[in-house]
Amino acid sequence: MTSSYPTSIRPSATEIKNRQLTPQNLEIAIRSLYHDGLVVVENAVPHAALDRLNEKMVRDAYALQSRKENSPYNYNRGNIQQDSPPVKDYFDRDIFLNPIATQITTTALGPRPKWTFCSGNTAMPPTADCPPTSQPVHSDADFDHPTHPFAYVVNIPLIEMTPENGSTEIWLGSHIDSGLHVQEGRHGERASGRIKLDELEKRRAIRPPCQPVVPKGAIVLRDLRLWHAGIGNQTDEVRVMLAMIHFAPWYRNPMRLEFAESVRSIMEKQDGLEVPVDWVTEEDAMSRYLNPNATAPPATPPAIAAVFVEDAVEDGEGTIELVDEVVIEVDNDAESDVVVLIGDDVDDAVEDDIVVEEETKCLSLRQDLVQRCATHVSIRVDLKPLRVLITAEKVYRKIQIPGTIHTTLFLGL
C-alpha cells in the first residue's frame, strides 16, 4: 500500500539562501502535489518571524475564544478560523509571500497565481466546555469546482505540529476524485464540505489518513480539494496554522484581501503573485481583522453585492444573475422583515426557502434552490431602508465564491 505519510523536501543551504528550490526538488514537489495532493517543504521560514507572529496570534486566539458561540469557529469551538493582523508590523515576506511556496504554486498553476485568501486555523487547548474534538473529514472546496488542480493552500504552522497538538489529519490522494458528489453539508454552512461516511470507508481501505509531524519552519502545500480534518489539541499550547490560498490565474475568483496601506510597499516589491487588495488605514485594518462582519461593507464590494444593495434598498427589488448563494446580514433587530423571493416562482416563495441562522441573523439562500432557478434570483427586501450588509465572500470565514464563477464554467449558462 502507498504510504499515508507525505513527502517532505529538505532544501539545501543554497536553496534556502536563494529561496528557490532546484529543478530536482521542484520536480519532487510537483510530483507529490499531483499524486498525493500535498507536499511539505522544511526549513522554508525563519523561526524568528514565526515566533513574533505567534505571540500576537495566540493572544488574539484567546480573545476570539472568549466570544464562545459567536467566535468564528469551524465545526467545533476548539477550531477557530483566525486572520492574522494585516499590518506591516506582522507582515513578514518569508511567511506571507514565501518565495518557495510561490515557486511551487506558480509551477503547478501557471504564472502569477492569485492570492485571495489569507487566514489561519487555530486548534485551541481543551477547556471544560470544549474537550478536544475532531472536525468531520471535509474538503475546503465545498462548491462546484474543476476536476483538475485550480488552487493550493499554503499552510504555515507557527509552531511544530504533532498528533498531540492537533496536526491536521490528511487523506493523501483524495483530491483526485473529490467534488460535490462525495460531500454533504451545503456551501456556506458551518458544516459544509463533509465527506460522506461510505466514501471515507472506501478511501480508508485504499490509503488511510495520517497526522504527520510538521516541524517548525516548514510550509505545507495542499490541493484545495484534498480531504482533511482538524484534530483536537490535547496540549496546553495554542496551535496556529496560517492558511493562504493561491488560485490558478485562470480561475475566475473575485475574492480580495484587505491590508493596511503600510503593507503596500512590501507587496509592490513582489511580482510572483497577483494580489487583489483593498487598502485601508492601519486603524481600520486593526479594528476589522477580528471583526469581519461588524463594520461597513468592504471598500470594493463584489459587483453583485453592489447591484443588490442599490436595487434592494432603493427600489425594493433587485435582480442578481447566476448567483449560487447570497448571504444577507441585517444590521437590525430580529424583527426585521426580510423576504427573499426566488426565480419566477415569486408566489411560491416560502419561509422554508430561507435558511435563518438566528444567532448571526444571517439569511442565506439554499444553494440547491438557487441552482434550480437557473438564470436569475430576484430578491425583495421589505423593510425600511436600513443598513444591509452583503457578504458574498466570507461566512464563518470560510471560502466563499459567488456562483457566477462556477455556474458559468460548469453549467454553461
Ligand X SMILES: O=C(O)CCC(=O)C(=O)O
Rule CB under 6 A: which residues touch ligand X? 74, 79, 121, 123, 135, 140, 166, 168, 228, 230, 241
Nearest-angstrom CA–CA distance, 97 and 86: 13
116 binds, among Fe ion, ligand X, none (CB under 5 to 8 A by kind): none
Q: How far is the CB of 135 from ligand X (least distance, A)?
A: 6
79 binds, among Fe ion, ligand X, none (CB under 5 to 8 A by kind): ligand X
Q: Which three cell numbers stand for residue 318?
A: 433587485
Per-residue buried b or exposed e for 258-291, using 16+ beta carbons within 10 Å of the residue's own CB: bbbebbeeebeeeebbebebebbebebbeebbbe
Closest CA relative to residue 30, chosen from 120, 94, 100, 114:
100
Q: How far is the CB of 75 from Fe ion (least distance, A)?
A: 9
Q: How far is the CB of 158 from ligand X (least distance, A)?
A: 12
123 binds, among Fe ion, ligand X, none (CB under 5 to 8 A by kind): ligand X
Contacts of 396 (CB under 8 A, 6+ apart): 72, 73, 74, 81, 188, 190
Q: Which is nearer to ligand X, 78 or 272 (CB)?
A: 78
Q: Which is nearer to Fe ion, 80 or 338 (CB)?
A: 80
241 binds, among Fe ion, ligand X, none (CB under 5 to 8 A by kind): ligand X
CB-CB neighbours of 14 under 10 Å: 9
Q: How far is the CB of 172 from ligand X (least distance, A)?
A: 15
Q: How far is the CB of 351 from ligand X (least distance, A)?
A: 30
Angle between helices 23-35 and 99-109 (to 10 degrees): 60
168 binds, among Fe ion, ligand X, none (CB under 5 to 8 A by kind): ligand X
165 binds, among Fe ion, ligand X, none (CB under 5 to 8 A by kind): none
Q: How far is the CB of 241 from ligand X (least distance, A)?
A: 6
Q: Which is nearer to ligand X, 185 or 343 (CB)?
A: 185
Q: How far is the CB of 70 from ligand X (least distance, A)?
A: 17
Q: Which is nearer to ligand X, 230 or 254 (CB)?
A: 230
Q: Which is nearer to ligand X, 74 or 407 (CB)?
A: 74
400 binds, among ligand X, Fe ion, none (CB under 5 to 8 A by kind): none
Residue 189 found at the interface with Fe ion (CB under 5 A): no
Nearest-angstrom CA–CA distance, 179 and 175: 8
Q: How far is the CB of 57 from ligand X (least distance, A)?
A: 13
**Contact with Fe ion (CB under 5 A): which of 60, 94, 140, 189?**
140
Contacts of 230 (CB under 8 A, 6+ apart): 74, 75, 76, 79, 121, 123, 134, 135, 166, 168, 169
The CB-nearest residue to Fe ion is: 140
218 binds, among ligand X, Fe ion, none (CB under 5 to 8 A by kind): none
Q: Which three cell numbers stand for residue 66?
A: 472568549
Q: Which is nearer to ligand X, 134 or 319 (CB)?
A: 134
Q: Which is nearer to ligand X, 123 or 195 (CB)?
A: 123
Q: How far is the CB of 140 from Fe ion (least distance, A)?
A: 4
Hey, CA dihedral for 271, 272, 277, 279, is it positive or negative? negative
Cβ–Cβ under 8 Å, residues 341 and 348: no
Q: Which is nearer to ligand X, 145 or 379 (CB)?
A: 145
> Which value, to the nearest 10 degrees, does the dihedral of the CA atoms of residues 256, 143, 69, 296 take?
30
> Which value, to the nearest 10 degrees, does the dihedral of the CA atoms of residues 242, 243, 249, 250 take?
-170
Q: Which is nearer to ligand X, 32 or 168 (CB)?
A: 168
Can you give the binding site for Fe ion, defined by CB under 5 A? 140
